[in-house]
């Protein structure tokens, strides 16, 4: 029996993580045809189709689901075994890290983070991917290296966390909106048409609860799943939205921002990663870069509330 090509493990790991030949090809910097040939080799070697057509996409077979976590661990162990134990040489470091985050983080912190990485470790690439849920599986199986978010009861108990910055919610309207002039009272605020941002499609939030204590109720005109979509709607209408201040700074350019007329809880944005990466020198260095960039942006905006 011939010895299998262990390089196929890398291809298999990416295919199972992406669930798409096209996305796997981009991640491995291969052409779609080359990736299709690799998938054909894997199918022949393993005696299983691994990914099968379902509508316009591909779904994993039971064998593929069984292998997903196992293959990921094998790749991580192989990389750790082959990685030099000597002190980290940033100028020679060549790795790709994946950071999963909600929209707003890249727009506000991405440019400075990429510039810092390029200056210190030109061979390192940072891949940003969108955070659509709070599932910790990608951190556990190594599909992603870090994610940002709010630590809560649904956060994996084994995950490591590091606070990055505290954020508060503010109101946003278009320029020359009626609320852009005069004092924004609870009554004036509640009288407008509002956008509620909720990935889970909730019908009300903390602001509604605070308004109800004052005997007020706001009209929710629409519910959207992202801050960027909400701000795009506000920019072109008379709608009102509440968003986290620091997370949406660059998304709110040329719009009018104001302090909410009812109290709301601040949120702490943290960096999360799996404990197996704690001692990895390159991972530890990049955690420091992310922390420092967020801290610098915090100090830039610590002079008080900005209307912008």
Confidence check: pLDDT of 2 > 80: no
Domains of the chain and CATH, by start? 7-82 (1.10.10.10), 96-164+271-300 (3.40.190.10), 169-265 (3.40.190.10)
> Would you place residue 303 in the very low, low, confident or very high pLDDT band (cuts 50, 70, 90)?
very low
> Would you place residue 85 in the very low, low, confident or very high pLDDT band (cuts 50, 70, 90)?
low
Confidence check: pLDDT of 217 > 80: yes
Q: What is the mean pLDDT of residues 109-128?
A: 95
Rounded to an integer, what distance in angstroms lies between the CA atom of residue 75 and that of residue 70? 9
Strand partners, 294: none
**Cα–Cα–Cα angle for 222, 229, 127, rounded to 5 degrees:** 145
Confidence check: pLDDT of 234 > 80: yes
**Cα–Cα–Cα angle for 125, 128, 130, rounded to 5 degrees:** 165
> Would you place residue 307 in the very low, low, confident or very high pLDDT band (cuts 50, 70, 90)?
very low
Confidence check: pLDDT of 192 > 90: yes
Q: What is the pLDDT of residue 76?
A: 77
Contact, 261 vs 278, CB < 8 A? Answer: no
Of 34, 39, 37, nearest to 14 by C-alpha is 39
Rounded to an integer, what distance in angstroms lies between the CA atom of residue 4 and that of residue 2? 6
Contact, 100 vs 269, CB < 8 A? Answer: no
> Would you place residue 299 in the very low, low, confident or very high pLDDT band (cuts 50, 70, 90)?
very low
Q: What is the mean pLDDT of residues 69-88?
A: 74
Report strand pairing: 51-54 vs 96-101: unpaired
Instruction: List pLDDT tens digits, range 96-105.
Output: 999 999 888 9
Q: What is the mean pLDDT of residues 78-90?
A: 73
Across all residues in the chain, what is the average pLDDT? 87
DSSP state of 108: I
The DSSP secondary structure of 247-303, one letter per residue, reads TTTGGGTTSEEEE-SS----EEEEEEE-GGGTT-HHHHHHHHHHHHHHHHHHHHTTT
Total-model pTM: 0.64
- State the DSSP H helix or E strand holding residue 207, giving kind and residue range, or none if neither: helix 206-213
Q: CA gyration radius for the chain?
A: 23
Q: For the chain, give the percent of residues with pLDDT over 70.
A: 93
Rounded to an integer, what distance in angstroms lies between the CA atom of residue 228 and that of residue 252? 9
């Amino acid at each position: 029996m011939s010895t299998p090509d262990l390089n196929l493990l890398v291809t298999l790991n990416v295919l199972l993580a992406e669930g798409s030949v096209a996305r796997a090809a981009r991640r491995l910097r291969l052409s779609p045809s080359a990736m299709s040939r690799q998938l054909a080799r894997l199918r022949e070697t393993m005696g299983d189709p691994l990914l099968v057509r379902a509508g316009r996409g591909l779904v994993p077979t039971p064998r593929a689901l069984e292998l997903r976590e196992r293959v990921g661990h094998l790749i991580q162990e192989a990389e750790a075994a082959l990685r030099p134990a000597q002190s980290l040489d940033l100028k020679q470091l060549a790795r790709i890290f994946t950071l999963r985050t909600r929209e707003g983080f890249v727009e506000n912190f991405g440019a400075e983070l990429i510039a810092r990485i390029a200056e210190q470790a030109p061979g390192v690439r940072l891949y940003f991917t969108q955070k659509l849920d709070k599932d910790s599986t990608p951190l556990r199986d190594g599909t992603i290296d870090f994610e940002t978010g709010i630590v809560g009861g649904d956060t994996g108990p084994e995950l490591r966390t590091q606070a990055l910055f505290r954020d508060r919610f503010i109101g946003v309207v278009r320029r020359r909106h009626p609320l852009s002039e005069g004092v924004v009272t609870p009554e004036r605020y509640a009288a407008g048409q509002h956008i509620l941002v909720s990935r889970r499609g909730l019908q009300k939030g903390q602001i509604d609860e605070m308004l109800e204590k004052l005997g007020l109720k706001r009209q929710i005109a629409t519910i959207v799943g992202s801050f960027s979509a909400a701000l795009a709607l506000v920019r072109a209408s008379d709608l009102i939205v509440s968003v986290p201040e620091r997370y949406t700074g660059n998304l709110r350019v040329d719009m009018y921002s104001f302090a909410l007329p009812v109290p709301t809880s601040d949120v702490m944005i943290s960096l999360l990663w799996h404990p197996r990466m704690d001692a990895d020198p390159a991972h530890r260095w990049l955690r420091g870069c992310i922390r420092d960039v967020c801290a610098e942006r915090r100090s830039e905006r610590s002079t008080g509330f900005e209307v912008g």
